């Protein structure tokens, strides 16, 4: 336990720093509402509006105000008390959704599909997870399934080289479903623990690209009716409430099993993770607060809740 303590504190500091724009916006709104004010109906309404504007969503905003009204109605309330109520409400929502990744522990090879829109950080996230699996002694195959972009194929190749892991790739324009099929066959032959498949970044409103994603899922199921065993949706933390429509589209196309939110550093819209989690009840595997491998960390609901509320680590 003691070996992990410094790392945990260090990550909370980085998380708090990364979420500063989100937490500062929330703190400013809360402070503006609760400057020597009693908690009356008008103040509660102001607070609810402020939390919705911070991308936390109507349901979370309503639960925070209900929590405060229950114990503090018609009394003076400090902004610190409001932040504590906010952190507790967010933690209650997200704690049941904490889902650390344990790839390749049971099914072998475990087939993991990474999906998301262009620029979400999907390929980088795959690379970081692959590097971590290698460090843990697991064997995996990286699949450059975005056959539309030379840069994406090259990025996967670089991660493979950096991590000392094999890469399956094809020429530009090759059929990505066929590539995924061949990759799983290879992983079986080589007795690998996992197959991590990158896919083309696609906008959720491009029907033909979503159809191609469905095809990859269908083809993998021919090899193993339970494959892909995981479909991880990578969301960009800077898109705010737009993450809801992205999640909805990918859930329909590819049976998403969990999510990772990246780029939470430097955005004022980190609260959107709460909205997505609450609406779809998707397990949250990890969050990213920077470019380094250590900046992608297993999701901790309590740490996230306190950081976004602008509070110290509990």
List residues forming the annotated binding site for GTP. Answer: 116-123, 198-202, 262-265
Q: Which residues line the annotated binding site?
A: 116-123, 198-202, 262-265
φ/ψ bin of 266: left (φ > 0), alpha (ψ from -120 to 50), beta (otherwise):
left
* Residues 249, 129 contacting (CB under 8 angstroms): no
Q: What one-character-per-residue DSSP string does 225-272 give?
A: TT-SSEEEEEEEGGGTTHHHHHHHHHHHHH---EEEEE--TT-S-TTH
Closest of 255, 251, 257 to residue 284, by C-alpha:
257
How far is the C-alpha of 102 from the C-alpha of 275, rounded, in Å?
25
Which residues, 6+ apart, have CB-to-CB distance to 108 below 8 Å?
Answer: 191, 192, 193, 194
138: CB partners within 8 A, 6+ apart:
103, 104, 193, 194
Backbone dihedral angles phi then psi of residue 141, each to the nearest 5 degrees: -110, 130
Give the span between the Cα atoms of 300 and 289, in whole angstroms. 13
- Residues 6 or more apart whose CB falls under 8 angstroms from that of 31 comprise 79
Taking alpha carbons only, the member of 35, 36, 66, 72 closest to residue 51 is 66
Structure token pair of residue 304: 């996230």
């Amino acid at each position: 336990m003691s070996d992990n303590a410094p790392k945990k504190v260090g990550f909370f500091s980085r998380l708090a720093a990364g979420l500063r724009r989100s937490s500062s916006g929330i703190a400013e709104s809360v402070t503006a509402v609760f400057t020597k004010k009693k908690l009356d109906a008008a103040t509660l309404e102001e607070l609810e509006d402020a939390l919705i504007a911070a991308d936390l969503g109507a349901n979370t905003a309503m639960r925070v105000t209900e929590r405060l009204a229950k114990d503090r109605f018609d009394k003076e309330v400090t902004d610190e008390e409001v932040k504590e109520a906010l952190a507790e409400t967010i933690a209650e929502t997200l704690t049941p959704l904490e889902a650390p990744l344990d790839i390749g522990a049971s099914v072998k090879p475990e087939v993991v599909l990474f999906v998301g829109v262009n620029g979400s950080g999907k390929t980088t996230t795959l690379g970081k997870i692959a590097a971590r699996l290698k460090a843990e002694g697991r064997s995996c195959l990286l699949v450059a399934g975005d056959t539309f972009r030379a840069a994406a194929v090259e990025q996967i190749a670089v991660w493979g080289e950096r991590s000392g892991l094999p890469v399956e790739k094809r020429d530009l324009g090759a059929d990505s479903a066929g590539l995924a099929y061949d990759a799983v066959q290879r992983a079986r032959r080589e007795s690998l623990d996992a197959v991590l498949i990158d896919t083309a970044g696609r906008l959720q409103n491009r029907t033909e690209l979503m159809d191609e994603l469905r095809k990859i899922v269908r083809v993998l199921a021919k090899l193993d009716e339970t494959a892909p065993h995981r479909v991880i949706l990578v969301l960009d933390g800077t898109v705010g409430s737009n993450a809801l429509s992205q999640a909805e589209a990918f859930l329909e196309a590819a049976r998403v099993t969990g999510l990772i939110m990246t780029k939470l550093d430097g955005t004022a819209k980190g609260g959107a993770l709460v909205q997505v989690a609450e609406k779809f009840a998707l397990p949250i595997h990890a969050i990213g607060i920077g470019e380094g491998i250590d900046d992608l960390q297993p999701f901790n609901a309590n740490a996230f809740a306190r950081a976004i509320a602008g509070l110290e680590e509990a």
